[in-house]
Chains A and B, each alone.
Chain A
Amino acid sequence: MNTQGKVFKYPDNVDTDVIIPARYLNTPDAQELALHCMEDIDTEFVKNVQVGDVMVAGWNFGCGSSREHAPLVIKTCGTGCVIAKSFARIFYRNAINIGLPILECEQAAEEIAAGDEVKVNFDTGVITNITTGKAYEAQPFPPFIQNIIKNGGLLKSLKEGETNG
């Protein structure tokens, strides 16, 4: 599995309130919510994001609320992957559970610039900055989590486990 696209760059401690402000959480509809993704810190994101694009951020991405709506709107906007120096734990869990690819890689998150063209290979964890030619290797997921992703999210993986006895 791969994604390739343009980079949107964000700072440390991007919280779930700016990813999707709570004032919109009166609906669970992902398409409707996605119209407001990142709007409190980047009003241009939703207008410019294309399928496969990559978000790159600093430490503690997704801190704050447990709202699963946060990774869901990022995914629904077409974002192919989020690369950060670290993720807040509930966001990390939610991203895996709903099938939004995320990678922790401090050096890539530091060096990749806004607007760069980046290619990410999820199987190998290799991140290639096509603009600069530099490649990075992200921490691979533990096998347990890879299994959840391979099965298409937590609930499908649970169902799979049920059928397998």
Chain B
Amino acid sequence: MGMTMTQKILAAHAGLDQVVAGQLISAKLDIVLGNDITTPVAVNEFKKAGFTDVFDKDRVAIVLDHFVPNKDIKAAEQSKTCREFACSHCVSHFYDVGKMGIEHALLPEQGVVTAGDCIIGADSHTCTYGALGAFSTGVGSTDMAAGMATGTAWFKVPSAIKFNLTGKLPVNCSGKDVILTIIGMIGVDGALYKSMEFTGDGAHSLSIDDRLCICNMAIEAGAKNGIFPVDNVTMEYLNGRSEREPVVYEADADAEYEKVIDIDLSKIVPTVSCPHLPENTHPASELSHIKIDQVVIGSCTNGRMEDMETAYKILNGKKIADGIRCIIIPGTMQILRECVQRGWYTAFIDAGAVVSTPTCGPCLGGYMGILAAGERCIATTNRNFVGRMGHVDSEVYLASPATAAASALTGYITNPEEV
């Protein structure tokens, strides 16, 4: 029986010729990742279990991104725990303030993750790297500790849903609109325990930033991972960037899928997820009566170069509506630097926005844009659960950078075609 792309990567990392859905395997890991919230718990478990060494100092990545520059004393203590652990184990991929970025924007950019990899990360959005043709999934801190110690993890081999993408995205639509549409279609547990494999001619028409955004939110449909085939677009991105040789896996022609869902990209419209679940999607054009207080453009979902460019094109030379707070957060220092160099940073400030250094901050209600009771934010982030960005009576609407930037200009949820 044929294997899916995910199953092929898992089989190779388990040293097996064949795996089937439901099989329990132990797989070798290429990268084990943690951040400033999950790593301290992992470090504690690592020490408690009596481990003394990491399996490979070059295969562990620790990124301080959630609460840095440290938002308070306790956050500073957590960063310190990460720093001391990284230093004492000579972890080569340790990213502190000045070098850091939002982990899922940073690791692809720096070439730390590549095609064919098997990756775990103590962060649910670790599924992002499937965009590069890797198997990559989120785990907890104990799994991270075990992964750092042994270089292996256990997995139940997932079955898959195939998304057959056709056509090309219309102007004003991006990967975010695609993944929000899919989550609206299948629900927040529509791919529970499964792989989401994106394929078809339409997949090849998508940029790497769009693919990273789509795979990033696979977890929001409950999926174990999201994955794209490796094509010329991927190889062009990886060449000269990957620190290891990319390995290309392809799904077998007779691979079994639980379901095949056809998505015509040319029919996608600017889409918004209303509170309090990502599956609660509506076309942006139907929500123009909803007044907002804040706009956030950034996060591991949409803090990349194309996202900044979209925001720039919409905000340049315009003014953000009165009473609206617009917060723009480039995903990495390299992206921030690029924004400065291209004059986008100035354009954002002239429009009335603020620009932060990279951080997950507001996305998870940490800091840098917390909402008061009754306030509404349109954000390019990934979750709109109760209390996600602040007070339990605040609301988060998830959207693309184009829709978020357009909304910043009007003060209401706005289809980007209208500005």
List residues of A whose CB falls within 8 A of some B CB.
13, 15, 17-18, 21-23, 25-28, 40-41, 59-60, 63-69, 86, 88-90, 93-94, 97-98, 142, 144, 153-156, 158-159
Contact = CB atoms under 8 A, between A and B. Distances in A.
Contacts of A86: 189, 192
A55 B24 CA distance: 28
A54 B113 CA distance: 41
B324 interface: no
Contacts of B66: 22, 25
Q: How large is the interface on B (under 10, 10 to 19, 20 to 34, 35 or more residues)?
A: 35 or more
A2 B274 CA distance: 41
13 contacts: A17-B388, A22-B388, A28-B78, A59-B189, A64-B383, A65-B124, A65-B383, A68-B141, A90-B138, A90-B219, A97-B140, A142-B24, A155-B51
B37 A25 contact: yes
Interface in B352-402: 364-366, 370, 383, 385-388, 392
B143 interface: yes
Contacts of A64: 124, 383, 385
Given A22-B365, A63-B188, A93-B139, A69 B41 contact: yes
B74 A155 contact: no
A158 B146 contact: yes
B277 interface: yes
Contact of B41 (A21, A28, A155): A28
Contact of B142 (A15, A89, A97, A144): A97
Contact of A155 (B48, B72, B126, B222): B48
Contacts of B38: 66-68
A13 B188 contact: yes
Contacts of B383: 15, 17, 64-65
Contact of A60 (B40, B222, B366): B222
A27 B74 contact: yes
A41 B393 CA distance: 11
Contacts of B386: 15, 17-18, 40-41
A23 to B, nearest CB: 5
A159 B142 contact: no
A156 B49 CA distance: 7
B364 A155 contact: no
B165 interface: no
A154 B152 CA distance: 12
A13 to B, nearest CB: 6
Contacts of B24: 142, 144
Nearest to B138: A66
B89 interface: no
Nearest first, the 8 closest Cβ-Cβ pairs linking A and B are A68-B140, A94-B140, A26-B74, A155-B49, A22-B364, A97-B142, A60-B189, A66-B124
A41 B154 CA distance: 33
